[in-house]
Structure formats: structure tokens, C-alpha cells
Amino acid sequence: MDSTAVIVASLQAACADVGLPVPSDERSQHIIGLGLYDAMAHVLPGVSPDVYPQVVERYGIHFRMLEPQTPLFAGAESMLQELRDAGHQLAIATGKSRRGLDRALEKTGLGPLFHATRCGEESASKPAPGMLLDLMRMLDTTPEKTVMVGDTTHDLQMAVNAGVNSVAVTYGAHPRDQLLALQPLACLDRPQDLWQWLKHNA
């Protein structure tokens, strides 16, 4: 889903609500993919963790208001369906809460396409390898048969830490140069480029 703008706007509005400095777009984008409390520690340096629950609560309110505006990337649903039909096991490793992920999957109707999902509250937050390790156990697969597709350095570093190859996409949260530094198998600029790469390499 093309959620970067919604996440950034929700975080900035939450900080303003609580009377904290509003983080820049760049700083806000950097925390995408992390669990909420790890994100708070990064985006609000020097702020007491006692304040985090207030920011998280306000973030949730703003995000749920803006979430209906979040579109799927063009071709995403058909790509997932074709991958599943071809016999691939599909999984999600996300910093979202379980409630937030379930809501997104229900809204988009994509839930039945995934074989397994793991959220930040269920394993250590990215870039720790826990979510990927858990998913590989759940799907009875190995690092050699797994690829992580991600748009943040947190995604790609999680893959490195789990011993898994990665593919980076630049149409999300983090810039190309930061993604390339983590040596993904490919760094792709459009959803259709990802689909073509997966067709020929997955």
C-alpha cells in the first residue's frame, strides 16, 4: 500500500497534538517499518518514554482517519494473486500492530492471499531478525528459499540479520542510496518492475 504520506501526516499531527516538536518529513519517513515505540525513540530524541503512549494514541486516531485514503500500488493485487497461484508462499513482516494489519487486510481484501503474517508486537522490532525467523518457521522454509521485499533500510537490515536475500523498492519510504548500501539483489523503481523481476527470479 502507498502509505508513506499517511504515516508521515499522522505522526506529525500526533506530535503537534501533544505539544512536541513536529518532526520533518525526512525524519518521519525514516521510522516507517519500525514498531511504534522504537519509532518514538528515534523520532523524539530526548523525550521521556512516559510521553510515548500519548503520541501513539493520537497517531492511531489520525491514522485511522486518513487510512481510507491509502491506495494499493497499481497492480499489487494481481501480482500477489499470480505469485500465490504459481505456488509461492506469501508472508508479511510489518511494524504495524496486529489490529492495524488485520484492518488493512480486511479493507483491501488481500488477507486470503497471504500464508502467514507477523507484526512488530509479536516479535522483536525491525531490524532484528525475529519476524523473518518466525515466518520461516511458520512456513517450514529456509533462508535460501526466502526473499524479503522492502522499501526501508529496516526491512533490508532485518533480511541481512536473518540471513535472507532482499529486493529493494524505491517507491516507498527510504532513498535509493541508503537501500543500495545494504546490497539487495535488485533495487527497483516501479511496482511493475518488481513484478517482472519476481517473474524471472523468484
- The whole-number pLDDT of residue 183 equals 97
The pLDDT value recorded for residue 67 is 86
CA distance 11 to 55: 8
Asked if the model's pLDDT at residue 35 lies above 80, the reply is no
CATH number for 4-69: choose from 1.10.10, 1.10.150, 3.30.70, 1.10.760. 1.10.150
What's residue 31's pLDDT?
A: 84
The letter for the amino acid at 60 is G
Provide the H-helix boundaries in 67-119: 76-85, 98-108
CA distance 56 to 77: 30
C-alpha–C-alpha distance, residues 63 and 196, integer Å: 32
Q: Please check whether residue 88 is in contact with residue 82, taking contact to mean a CB–CB distance below 8 angstroms.
A: no
CATH number for the region 76-201 comes to 3.40.50.1000
pLDDT(36) > 80: no
Between strands 116-119 and 91-94, the pairing is: parallel
Q: How does pLDDT run across 114-124, given as a tens digit for each residue?
A: 999 999 889 88
Q: What percent of the chain shows pLDDT beyond 90?
A: 73
119: left (phi over 0), alpha (psi -120 to 50) or beta: beta
Q: Residue 127, preceding bond cis, omega within 30 degrees?
A: yes
Q: Is 34 left (phi over 0), alpha (psi -120 to 50) or beta?
A: beta
- pLDDT of residue 17 exceeding 90, the answer is yes
Q: Residue 102: what pLDDT?
A: 94
Cα–Cα distances in Å, from 108 out to 32, 62, 138? 20, 19, 24
Q: What percent of the chain has pLDDT over 70?
A: 100
**44 contacts 20 by C-beta, under 8 angstroms:** yes
Average pLDDT over residues 139-149: 97
Of 37-51, 152-166, 175-189, give the lowest mean pLDDT range: 37-51
Going by pLDDT thresholds of 50, 70 and 90, the confidence category of residue 153 is: very high
For 182, the 3-state DSSP assignment is coil
- Whether 144 has a pLDDT exceeding 80, the answer reads yes
Query: What is the model's pTM?
Result: 0.85
CA distance 184 to 165: 7
Instruction: Please work out, in degrees rounded to the nearest 5, the angle formed at the alpha carbon of residue 151 by the alpha carbons of 148 and 157.
Output: 55
Report the pLDDT averaged over residues 84-104. 93
Give the model's pLDDT for residue 110: 96
* Per-residue pLDDT band at 163 (split at 50, 70, 90): very high
Question: Which of these, 192, 132, 180, 171, lies nearest to 153 by C-alpha position?
Answer: 180
Domain ranges of the chain: 4-69, 76-201
Q: What is the pLDDT of residue 189?
A: 95
